Amino acid sequence: MSRLKELRNYVCDVINNLDDVDERTAAITHLNGVALAAVILAKKRGLNEELAPMAAMLHDLHAYKTGSYDDHAHLGSELARSILNELNLTNEEETDIICSAIYHHDDKLVTDSPMDELLKDADVISHTMHDPSKAIKEKEQARYSSICSELGLRG
Ligand SMILES: [Fe+2]
Ligand SMILES: [Fe+2]
């Protein structure tokens, strides 16, 4: 089984234990949507196309588990580290790359490392393209425009 598949199974088990069925559907949809976008961006940018979706699968897990988005990026990074240590899927350097991306993923207005930026952009793709009829949040507009121009998409 691939590392991504193993991690995805773990995350799906966590999500499937949530009480609210709508929350379960939203969580699985968002995490898998961000993971798919992360692979596309990794291929486009020459970044690791295995670690990118692994970070995506974990990036909002703390928020889903606790029902709170308060500091969820930083707390989620700690949760991701404990999960990755438990599953023993990644070496220390890979764990650091994934946890850094999760730690920074809510800092959409600043620029961090290439993999950090990839996760932010994959998150914005999910927020803006899951339902194109929805208005784009102001804080995501600039990032959305630059993703569209990078990928040659109509903005
Ligand atoms: Fe988030
Ligand atoms: Fe997210």
Ligand 1 center–CA 106 separation, angstroms: 6
pLDDT in tens, 4-58: 999 999 999 999 999 999 999 999 999 999 999 999 999 999 999 999 999 999 9
> CA-to-CA distance for 47 and 64, rounded, in angstroms?
27
Per the prediction, the chain carries an average pLDDT of 97
Q: Please give the residue range of the domain that contains residue 30.
A: 3-151
Residue 75 CA: distances (Å) to CA of 5, 72, 104: 23, 5, 11
Q: What is the pTM of this model?
A: 0.97
CATH number of the domain where residue 126 is located = 1.10.3210.10
Ligand nearest to the CA of 57: 2
Question: Is 45:33 a contact under the CB 8 Å cutoff?
Answer: no
Torsion angle (degrees, nearest 10) of CA 93, 53, 58, 132: 140
Output the six-digit token pair for 32.
Answer: 């898998």
pLDDT in tens, 76-87: 999 999 999 999
Ligand 1 center–CA 155 separation, angstroms: 23
> CA-to-CA distance for 36 and 13, rounded, in angstroms?
19
Tally of domains within the chain: 1
